[in-house]
Amino acid sequence: MADLNILDFYKDTALILMSLQRVFPRKMDLFVEDLIGPDQVDEFGLHTKRHEACFGAMLWLAEEGYLRYGATVRQEGVDQSHLTAKGLIKLSAIVHDALTDAKLDDVPSFEAQERLTMIEHMRRAIASQSSEQLTQVMRAFYNE
């Protein structure tokens, strides 16, 4: 059985990358709450482990060179974030492996190629709500 923290990490990083790709090349403020929903802090003002993990995923993507940001907003998110060239290139890469069910019948060749990009595989995996499919896509993303 897969570790739940890794499954959450894959989902969080996919959602972060999809959000940034959607507005590229503009910068955006990225908040944990927008990705995983509202969080209830405890009596000491500390966030849940789930919230901290999503915030950590944002910082990890930056450390690994997939995104840049201007500053952190406490532990709520990052401001002025955007994809790096590395992030954009990896998301735009054509992946011929059958990671997700890409319907390519009766579509123009350009559209068929677009359906094979990594970002499209991510979108389909998130939409499917299949942990197995998302794991396969995100492993391919990080291993390329």
Rounded alpha-carbon distances, angstroms, from residue 36 to 14, 55, 76: 12, 10, 12
Cβ–Cβ under 8 Å, residues 67 and 84: yes
Q: How confident is the model at residue 103 (pLDDT cuts 50, 70, 90)?
A: low
Cβ–Cβ under 8 Å, residues 18 and 126: yes
Distance between CA 27 and CA 81 in Å, rounded?
Answer: 5
Cβ–Cβ under 8 Å, residues 17 and 75: no
Residue 91 buriedness (CB in 10 A; 0-12 / 13-18 / 19+): buried
Q: How confident is the model at residue 115 (pLDDT cuts 50, 70, 90)?
A: confident
pLDDT at 104 over 80: no
31-59 pLDDT, tens digit per residue, is 999 999 888 888 887 888 999 999 999 99
Mean pLDDT of the chain: 89
Q: What is the DSSP string of 45-67?
A: SPPPHHHHHHHHHHHHHHHTTSE
The pLDDT value given to residue 30? 97
pLDDT at 16 over 60: yes
68-102 pLDDT, tens digit per residue, is 999 999 989 999 999 999 999 999 998 876 666 66
